[in-house]
Structure formats: structure tokens, C-alpha cells
Chains A and B, each alone.
Chain A
């Protein structure tokens, strides 16, 4: 039998249309979980309420092994039928939405709209619904399925929750599946090198205001940005500097004393990531030399590049599953939870559940219809791992 032949996987794929139909029958439970969990604010570092609600949902479904660990992660175990492996399903519990934003969701027959619905309330809702779904389709996994709602994942959280669990958890993960609300077809198996940080420019209180109009924190930051833009990046390995957010200033006519840039360096090469970071540090020093402004560089999150190869049985099986639901797999690298698995040399992938629009806006929206295929794809992948289709020999 060649590595491309796998009768177990073939039979799982044959079941996909039926699985999609069964997933459609689970619409209410997933949407109910989505509304209840998504309407519970969960900004990074303040995930307790959402985690507590998730644990209640797990307990109501009869899961006995549920807990909250020292990092605040929400955990539950679906016991296997004697298998020794632990298949870990992870969704990050935090969102970028502040508590003060109105978290009301609207459900129409076509879509669900509300802040953070795609990133990643849907992922958490799928996690919450999974024990119910597996029970309804009468699937009893051979191996243990460990459900993890990771805290302190985004921004300055830097995957703290999942990293803690992987370093200290009693159940060593054999495989990892990261669940993201968006987009269906997403298949990440590699993490790129990443450094994330803030550059903050400040003008001192005693600034010489006679230089009226010629200077401000914004102008200083602009100089920094221009210099970062001038950094020459090679075509290979692929590298980029993403300038994600800028803030500063209060009105039309006030000189700005504070401005901040949030940026991320991404590269397939760890060496190059470091080189770009060194160059940015040099720029911040250069811009402030001889001036009274201060420019601070704060790098607070890092990812090492890595992951499993395209030919790994986990990637190969999942690719076939995604193709079989009629979706083109999109093999984009990830900087999310996947990186924590990679750091621990655990084979892992990231999957998206559905499509949507207005990602990041307060009226972020997900489509309901593609969700059925997204759920079927996830369950088929669990079955493939559980059935031994993803072992590397």
C-alpha cells in the first residue's frame, strides 16, 4: 500500500455527505452556544466569565473531567475507549473586543452578526458543542479527546494559556487541532517566524513649544515608519513587516505628545526575523539621537518558524477531507495557537469553520450554511487521527 492509499480514510471520506447532513441537524446547539458564549465579553486577560460558562456547558453535557487550570484555561476530556493518545482540540477564548462594547448578537437564517463572532466565538462555540455532536452521531473515540479553551492568546497574551497547558498539563498532546471561526478551507500546518511589538514616541512635558508646528510625536513616528519601510527585504525566504495599528493625537490643533505603532515582523527564517528586529531597534535609536523625543521599542511576542511538512499524513489526510467537502484547501502559515504546538514538536493544524465578512468590526458576521461543511470537516479530521490515518511511520 502506498502512502496515498488509506482504506480507513476512504471510508471516513465516504461518510462526509452524511456527516454534513448530521451537522446541519446540530444548527441550534451550535448557534445557541455561539450566542451565549459570544455575548459574554472575553477580552485578553479577562476571559474568566466565558471560561466559567463554557465549563458549565461541558458539565451539563455530562463530562466529568472538567477544570480550569492555573493559567485560566478551560479544559474538558472526552474519554477514549482505551486508546493511549490525546487528541487536543484548541480554540482561543479571548477576543480583541473590549468589555465596554455592546456584545449583542443577531441571528438571521443566513448569518450571525456581532463583535468577535468569527474570531473566535465560533471556535469556542464549536468546542462547547463537540461533546453533544459526537454523542448524537454516536461516535465513541478510541483515544482521549482533550478540549482546551486557551486564555491570554492574543496580542500581549502571546499564547500564554496554551503554552502553560502544553508545558504543565497532565495529558501530553499527541496531535493538535486549532479551531478558528474563519475561514473554511484554511489549513495551516506551519508557523512563520514572528516578532510583535510596539514603538512608542513621546515628547517631554518641557518641550520647546517655540518650534510651533514643526514637531510632534506623530512626525517622529512618521520618520520611524519611513525608515522601516526602507528596510530591504529579500524575496526568499519570504519576509514582511506588517504595520497593524497606529494611534496618537487628540484634535486638529494640538501638538501630539504621544504616538504608538503596533507592528509585526514575519519571516520564514528565524535568522532574518532577528535581523529585521535588530534593524528596527537601530532605527529607533537613530531617530532619537540628538533630540529630546524618546522612542521606545517593546517586543513582547515571538514565534519560531517551524511546523510539519506538507507531506505529513496529518496534512495529507486533512487536505483530502477538505477537498472532499468541495472546498479548495488554503495552505497559509499561521502565527496563532499552532506555534505553541510547534514549539513542543506536536503535529498540529489549524482549521477554519465557515466564511464571513467584516472581520474585526463590531458587526463582524459569519455565514451559517458553510458551517455544516466546516463541522463535518472537523469531525472527519478527528476521526482520521483517531483511526490512525495520521501516524508518521
Chain B
């Protein structure tokens, strides 16, 4: 059996494997772990209320699996923060965390700053735009970290590759995964193709891993995490969990084009750092799309720079807060 097949067999879970929340809480308490849930937001007022209510009710009040629920916001102009606060979430503006550091905008920025702000030994990231939110989106990811000390990083996916029927059906991620990330991984990091949805926004990670990896602030954050954790710990540090169906608004193909451009930048940069691609030329940061105006084609330029935050354990305030120099 190849390494990939063995990993899929041993490290792929279904959220229902962790249905016994009482047992999970007992194991968590025995290990003395604390767990934080981070919901990165930007104008999510229609979905954030339900997310906070469900996680608080099920994973704090009934089963104390989570020690905190925090919303880290990029500057919403709607009532996202007001709604989240009304239902008892801790709310933060990303700009107010580590205010002395130059401000940057992007989901990756919120994720990075959450490492400083939140107190958990494990941080669970769940996107705030999920319409069919359910506690499984958190406990399905936390489970492998509680029961398998060697697992560092658990990724969510939304399909059932192992159906009970005899019909074989393709299984995989979204459009960007299938036409960009998976081909790239197949070329350069074949083992990482075992991760069914490398770009999913739902994952749970141990703090000690999060604090030592860099964070692109834009589209490339998930890709860079996988490459960095794989580089440091190998495939065995990952697990993945089937979270069943996830309902959210689909992005347009044009938006996915921008996303793919950002991911590709991050990927190529990492490959260059690892010495896999040998070039000294700086990559372009302008992504060009076209639109028809009357009888002419007009170029639309997007300046997409995958700016990056260094590992959090290099930030003096963080080292002081968590006593890394003691």
C-alpha cells in the first residue's frame, strides 16, 4: 500500500466518528487542553448569528468543548459584530490586535492575529458564511487532535468518497482545487494530493504549529499552511474529516480567477524558497481579465499581492505574552 493510500485509510475521519461529545470533553480535560473557535468575518450578518448560537449552545453550554468563541473582523460595514456580540461571542477588529504593527487587510491577517489574541492550545477556524452550520463543523475537526497526539493539523472536507453503494463517483474539492491546486500538488508534492479539499476554510491546528508558520494574508493562506506543515512534519501530521454537506454562496468564475492567481503566487514563492523552482525573477502581481464594452474589449487589472506575515513566534509581543523567552 502506498503512503498516500495508507494515510487516507488511517487519517481520514467522518464527523460521526466523534459523536460522543461527553467522552471527547473528558479526554480534553484530562489532557488539560484549551480550545478556541475563531470565526473570521467580513460582512456576514446574515449567517454569523446562527453560527454563534449553535456553537455556544452545543459546544459550550451543553458540552464544554470550546473555551472561547471569537469573531475576528476585517472591518465589516454591516451588523456582523453587533449580532455576534448579542449572542455572546468575543468580538475583535483585526486592526485593534497588535495595533503597533502595520495594518493589512485579508482573511489570512485575521487568522494570523487570532493566534495572538486567542488563548487556546488548539484553534479551530470555521468560515462565517456557512448557511447550514452545525456543531460538527467544529467537533469533527477537533476530534483527531484530542485522540491522536501526533496529529497537528486537521482539514475539513465535504464529500463522502467511500460510499456504501458500488457506484464509483469522483470525489474532490471545488473548481480551483481541481484545476489548479491538485495539478500543482501532483507535479511537486504528490503526497499532498491525499488531502481532498486543500482549500477548505475549516481546519483545527495546534498552537505550537500555528505560531511557527508564516501566514499569507490573502488567498494563499491555506496552500502555504499545507506546504509549510508538510515541509516541517510530513504527511503524518495531517488528518482530514468529512463534515458532510456545506452550503454557501458560490463564487463567480471571474472571482475564482483572482483566487487562483493569489494561490499560484504563494505556491511559486514557496517552491522558490524550497529550491524546487530555480528563478530569480520577481513574479508579476497584476492579474488581467477582459470585459466587452460595446464592440471593444477592455482590460480589467487587479493588483493582487500575496503579502505575508512572519511566524507569530517571531513577534516580540507574542513571545512576551506566551513567555517564549522564559
Q: How far is the CB of A103 from chain B (nearest CB, A)?
A: 9
A107 proximity list for chain B (CB < 8 A)? 49-50, 53, 87
A3 proximity list for chain B (CB < 8 A)? none
A31 with B57, Cβ < 8 A, contacts A106-B46, A107-B49 known: yes
Q: Could you give, for residues 53-88 of chain B, a 1 whenever the CB lies within 8 Å of some chain A CB and a 0 otherwise?
A: 110111001100000000000000001001100111
B56 proximity list for chain A (CB < 8 A)? 28
A384 at the interface (CB under 8 A from B): no
Q: How far is the CB of B223 from chain A (nearest CB, A)?
A: 30
A271 proximity list for chain B (CB < 8 A)? none
Q: How far is the CB of A133 from chain B (nearest CB, A)?
A: 12
Residues B57 and A105 in contact, CB atoms below 8 Å apart: no
Residues A28 and B57 in contact, CB atoms below 8 Å apart: yes
A105 proximity list for chain B (CB < 8 A)? 50
Question: How far apart sit A255 and B58, CA to CA, in the bound complex (Å)?
Answer: 56
The residue that B49 contacts in the complex, of A39, A60, A104, A106, with Cβ under 8 A, is A106
Residues B87 and A106 in contact, CB atoms below 8 Å apart: no
The residue that B54 contacts in the complex, of A35, A60, A109, A132, with Cβ under 8 A, is A35
Q: How many A-B residue pairs have CB under 8 A?
A: 46
A109 with B50, Cβ < 8 A, contacts A29-B62, A39-B132 known: no
A35 with B53, Cβ < 8 A, contacts A29-B62, A104-B131, A104-B247 known: yes
Residues B58 and A32 in contact, CB atoms below 8 Å apart: yes
Report A1-36 residues with CB < 8 Å from chain B CB. 27-29, 31-32, 35-36
B193 at the interface (CB under 8 A from A): no
Question: How far apart sit A119 and B131, CA to CA, in the bound complex (Å)?
Answer: 21
Question: How far apart sit A73 and B83, CA to CA, in the bound complex (Å)?
Answer: 36
B134 proximity list for chain A (CB < 8 A)? 36
Question: How far apart sit A36 and B50, CA to CA, in the bound complex (Å)?
Answer: 10
A29 proximity list for chain B (CB < 8 A)? 57, 61-62
Give me 17 other A-B pairs in contact (C-beta within 8 A), A104-B132, A108-B79 excluded.
Answer: A28-B53, A28-B56, A29-B57, A29-B62, A32-B54, A35-B50, A35-B53, A35-B54, A104-B131, A104-B247, A106-B47, A107-B49, A107-B50, A108-B45, A108-B49, A109-B83, A132-B62
Question: How far apart sit A60 and B57, CA to CA, in the bound complex (Å)?
Answer: 13
Residues B53 and A106 in contact, CB atoms below 8 Å apart: no
Minimal Cβ-Cβ distance residue in B for A111:
B49
Q: How far is the CB of A117 from chain B (nearest CB, A)?
A: 12
B50 proximity list for chain A (CB < 8 A)? 35, 105-107
Q: How far is the CB of A20 from chain B (nearest CB, A)?
A: 19
Residues A109 and B49 in contact, CB atoms below 8 Å apart: yes
| 22 A–B contacts from the bound complex (CB under 8 Å) | A28-B53, A28-B87, A28-B88, A29-B57, A29-B61, A31-B53, A31-B57, A32-B54, A32-B57, A32-B58, A35-B133, A104-B131, A104-B132, A104-B247, A105-B50, A106-B47, A106-B50, A108-B45, A108-B83, A109-B83, A109-B87, A132-B62
Question: How far apart sit A132 and B82, CA to CA, in the bound complex (Å)?
Answer: 28
A104 proximity list for chain B (CB < 8 A)? 131-132, 247
Q: How far is the CB of B50 from chain A (nearest CB, A)?
A: 4
Report A40-78 residues with CB < 8 Å from chain B CB. 60
Which 9 pairs between the two chains have the least Cβ-Cβ distance? Answer: A32-B57, A109-B86, A28-B57, A107-B49, A107-B50, A104-B131, A31-B53, A32-B54, A28-B56
A35 proximity list for chain B (CB < 8 A)? 50, 53-54, 133
Question: How far apart sit A32 and B87, CA to CA, in the bound complex (Å)?
Answer: 12
A132 proximity list for chain B (CB < 8 A)? 62
Residues B54 and A36 in contact, CB atoms below 8 Å apart: yes
Q: How far is the CB of B62 from chain A (nearest CB, A)?
A: 7
Question: How far apart sit A105 and B46, CA to CA, in the bound complex (Å)?
Answer: 9
Mostly, the B contact residues are helix
Minimal Cβ-Cβ distance residue in A for B61:
A28
Question: How far apart sit A356 and B84, CA to CA, in the bound complex (Å)?
Answer: 22
B88 proximity list for chain A (CB < 8 A)? 28
Question: How far apart sit A108 and B44, CA to CA, in the bound complex (Å)?
Answer: 11
Q: How far is the CB of A364 from chain B (nearest CB, A)?
A: 16
Question: How far apart sit A104 and B129, CA to CA, in the bound complex (Å)?
Answer: 12
A109 proximity list for chain B (CB < 8 A)? 49, 82-83, 86-87
Question: How far apart sit A105 and B134, CA to CA, in the bound complex (Å)?
Answer: 12
Minimal Cβ-Cβ distance residue in B for A39:
B132
Question: How far apart sit A354 and B240, CA to CA, in the bound complex (Å)?
Answer: 42
Minimal Cβ-Cβ distance residue in B for A132:
B62
Report B246-268 residues with CB < 8 Å from chain A CB. 247
Question: How far apart sit A317 and B71, CA to CA, in the bound complex (Å)?
Answer: 46
Q: Could you give, for residues 371-389 of chain A, a 1 whenever the CB lies within 8 Å of some chain B CB and a 0 otherwise?
A: 0000000000000000000
Minimal Cβ-Cβ distance residue in A for B53:
A31
Q: How far is the CB of A365 from chain B (nearest CB, A)?
A: 13
Question: How far apart sit A60 and B62, CA to CA, in the bound complex (Å)?
Answer: 10
Q: How far is the CB of A134 from chain B (nearest CB, A)?
A: 15
B87 proximity list for chain A (CB < 8 A)? 28, 107, 109
B86 proximity list for chain A (CB < 8 A)? 109
A32 proximity list for chain B (CB < 8 A)? 53-54, 57-58
A60 proximity list for chain B (CB < 8 A)? 62
Q: How far is the CB of B186 from chain A (nearest CB, A)?
A: 36
A39 proximity list for chain B (CB < 8 A)? 132
Question: How far apart sit A36 and B54, CA to CA, in the bound complex (Å)?
Answer: 9
A106 proximity list for chain B (CB < 8 A)? 46-47, 49-50
Q: How far is the CB of A130 from chain B (nearest CB, A)?
A: 15
Question: How far apart sit A60 and B135, CA to CA, in the bound complex (Å)?
Answer: 14
A36 proximity list for chain B (CB < 8 A)? 54, 134
B79 proximity list for chain A (CB < 8 A)? 108
Q: How far is the CB of B39 from chain A (nearest CB, A)?
A: 14
Question: How far apart sit A29 and B304, CA to CA, in the bound complex (Å)?
Answer: 43
Report A130-179 residues with CB < 8 Å from chain B CB. 132
Q: Which of A28, A35, A132 has the most chain B CB atoms inside 10 A of its CB? A: A28
Report B108-137 residues with CB < 8 Å from chain A CB. 131-134
A108 proximity list for chain B (CB < 8 A)? 45, 49, 79, 83
Minimal Cβ-Cβ distance residue in A for B46:
A106
Question: How far apart sit A32 and B51, CA to CA, in the bound complex (Å)?
Answer: 9
B133 proximity list for chain A (CB < 8 A)? 35
Question: How far apart sit A36 and B86, CA to CA, in the bound complex (Å)?
Answer: 20
Q: How far is the CB of A170 from chain B (nearest CB, A)?
A: 30
Q: How far is the CB of B286 from chain A (nearest CB, A)?
A: 38
B58 proximity list for chain A (CB < 8 A)? 32
Q: How far is the CB of A323 from chain B (nearest CB, A)?
A: 30
